[in-house]
Amino acid sequence: METTKTHVVHGGTLRYLKHDSATTGTPMTLSVFVPAGEGPFPVLIWLSGLTCTEDNFTTKAGAYKAAAQHGVIIVAPDTSPRGEGVADDAAYDLGQGAGFYVDATQAPWAPHFRMESYVTDELIALIDAEFPTTKTRSIFGHSMGGHGALTLALRHPELFQSVSAFAPISSPTRCAWGEKAFSAYLGEDRAEWARHDAALLIENGAAAGVFDDILVDQGAADPFLVEQLKPELLVAAAKAAGQRLTLRMQPGYDHSYFFMASFVDDHVAFHATRLKA
């Protein structure tokens, strides 16, 4: 990986990096914060939401003070492949900036839109090879990235010690954002969609015996709450499966990074406790 920028923050080092991805067939960008010291350190992977790049979390979330205190590496990749020859759409909720953390099977998306494999295979291997990690990790994210964090953890539980989310798309098979993206990337087979739906995965027992708790923060004043996010479906699924899930409805908070910056320390601490258990 090539370092493009470096900053010192809270005693640690923040690097912006890029590399040629064998998974997506494109250049990919990310940021990595490493605390002070020799390590090794556990890793916390952050997945961002619609329209975001690796820069949104890096500059707005204010997570690095907590990461430094807890001795945790934070990795924030871009949300999709980009570049010349990569399929795109004029809408904000499909195409570049809207990878949905699935491996597309449909044209014109399939050649490059392979974000599930990118995160769970290539990115993890790169970070473990190039940074002083303990080879243990957890995952969290926001909105589309909250969907990604939940579904990747539930589909690949051997990779992650814990999972949390801010305002996740809880059940993409039952909201307009998810239906549009899944139709484009995965085709019309709803059985395939269900394999990438956090609420349905939990209901079917995917978290059983794996995660002692799943932390979800949701702004009560989020304009997408009722139509797109539907956290009540996560709660119902967890209840049906006997899975512990902590949903914190935060009065007055919206969908922005102001919301995440207000509670990100709690999430870093939640994961750090489990990463070091």
List, by residue number, the catalytic residues.
Answer: 143, 222, 255
Distance in angstroms (rounded) separating the CA atoms of residues 40 and 58? 22
Distance in angstroms (rounded) separating the CA atoms of residues 175 and 177? 6
Q: How do 27-34 and 73-77 pair as beta strands?
A: antiparallel
Task: Classify residue 135 as left (phi > 0), alpha (psi -120 to 50) or beta.
Answer: left
- Residue 157 DSSP label: G
Q: Within 13 Å, how many C-alpha atoms sit on residue 270's CB side?
A: 22
Q: Which of 112, 89, 92, 113 is nearest to 50 (CA)?
A: 92
Distance in angstroms (rounded) separating the CA atoms of residues 126 and 57? 20
Q: Is 11 helix (H, G, I), strand (E, B) or coil?
A: coil
Instruction: Say which residue the tokens 């307009």 belong to.
Output: 176
Distance in angstroms (rounded) separating the CA atoms of residues 145 and 99? 9
CB under 8 Å to 99, separation ≥6 — which residues? 79, 80, 81, 113, 115
Q: How do 73-77 and 41-47 pair as beta strands?
A: parallel
